[in-house]
């Protein structure tokens, strides 16, 4: 099944099969994960450890994306690692297997599930964060400079966060070339995403949950509705980016 991925298979293959670009992506994900954990560090103690993946939205998305990238490492050709090869032996590893938009031949069910969740989380978290830092511009009673500004703090707290989380969308398109999905996996990812939203904003409907990220304002209905909308958007994006056939 064809997809509507704006990132071509050839470009994705070139990026993922080039040592320095793959290395930069993995190291960048690792550093970004640590920065994200630091953001949540002061408040994570109040959340049960087993719920941290639901609480730490951006670090969780990066962890999923990095795990998907790790599944591609064994498929890389020997010359990627600088290992010598027998020049008299030719094999399929010398070719970029991207004939149907795939970088690997087979996608086991667990990898397909991981990739589906990774794409959903990267898109949902990337868009949600951009929305969250702009809520003060739309919600009456909030100072518009809680994030937006041009001082040293806003350089990271607004512009930096906007740029880095927009990059989540590009990573979602990239890792989508390493996986597949199905209607069942998409439905499961939607359920988990909505459970995450309920964990974050259930207090608005009287549930004893309040695991929302530590934004600079008290979350309200606007942010809760935006979170559900971005969850739906993430699942829709995964359906567009990921092929839906040939799971092994």
- Tell me the C-alpha distance between 170 and 181, whole Å: 18
pLDDT at 105: 63
Give the burial class of 205: count Cβ atoms within 10 A of its Cβ; 0-12 exposed, 13-18 middle, 19 or more buried.
exposed
- Tell me the C-alpha distance between 210 and 49, whole Å: 15
- Tell me the C-alpha distance between 205 and 106, whole Å: 44
pLDDT at 212: 80
Question: What long-range pairs does 226-232 form, CB within 8 A, spacing at least 24?
Answer: 226/128, 226/131, 226/132, 226/135, 227/128, 227/197, 227/200, 227/201, 228/194, 228/197, 230/123, 230/124, 230/125, 230/127, 230/128, 230/131, 231/120, 231/124, 231/190, 231/193, 231/194, 231/196, 231/197, 232/190
pLDDT at 84: 54
pLDDT at 83: 64
Q: What is the pLDDT along the chain (248 residues), one digit of tens a residue?
A: 567 889 998 899 888 888 889 899 999 999 999 999 999 988 888 888 898 998 999 999 999 999 999 988 877 766 666 665 555 444 444 444 444 445 666 788 889 999 999 999 999 999 999 999 999 999 988 999 999 999 988 898 999 999 999 999 999 999 999 999 999 999 999 999 999 999 999 888 877 776 788 899 988 899 999 999 999 999 999 999 998 765 44
pTM beyond 0.85: yes
pLDDT at 128: 96
Give the burial class of 217: count Cβ atoms within 10 A of its Cβ; 0-12 exposed, 13-18 middle, 19 or more buried.
middle
């Amino acid at each position: 099944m064809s997809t509507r991925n704006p990132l071509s298979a050839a470009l994705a293959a070139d990026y993922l099969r080039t040592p320095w670009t793959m290395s930069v992506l993995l190291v960048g994900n690792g550093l970004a994960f640590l920065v994200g954990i630091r953001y949540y560090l002061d408040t994570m103690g109040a959340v049960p450890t087993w719920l941290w993946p639901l609480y730490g939205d951006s670090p969780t998305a990066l962890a999923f994306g990095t795990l998907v990238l790790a599944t591609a490492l064994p498929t890389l050709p020997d010359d990627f690692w600088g290992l010598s090869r027998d020049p008299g032996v030719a094999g399929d590893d010398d070719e970029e297997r991207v004939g149907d938009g795939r970088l690997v031949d087979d996608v086991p069910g667990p990898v397909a599930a991981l990739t589906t969740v990774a794409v959903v989380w990267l898109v949902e978290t990337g868009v949600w964060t951009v929305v969250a830092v702009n809520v003060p511009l739309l919600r009456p009673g909030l100072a518009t400079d809680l994030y937006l500004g041009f001082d040293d703090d806003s350089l990271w707290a607004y512009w930096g966060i906007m740029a880095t989380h927009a990059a989540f969308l590009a990573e979602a398109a990239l890792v989508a070339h390493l996986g597949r999905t199905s209607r069942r996996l998409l439905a499961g990812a939607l359920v988990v995403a909505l459970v995450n939203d309920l964990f974050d904003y259930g207090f608005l409907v009287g549930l004893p949950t309040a695991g929302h990220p530590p934004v600079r304002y008290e979350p309200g209905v606007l942010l809760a509705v935006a979170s559900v909308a971005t969850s739906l958007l993430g699942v829709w994006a995964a359906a567009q980016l990921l092929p839906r056939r040939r799971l092994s």
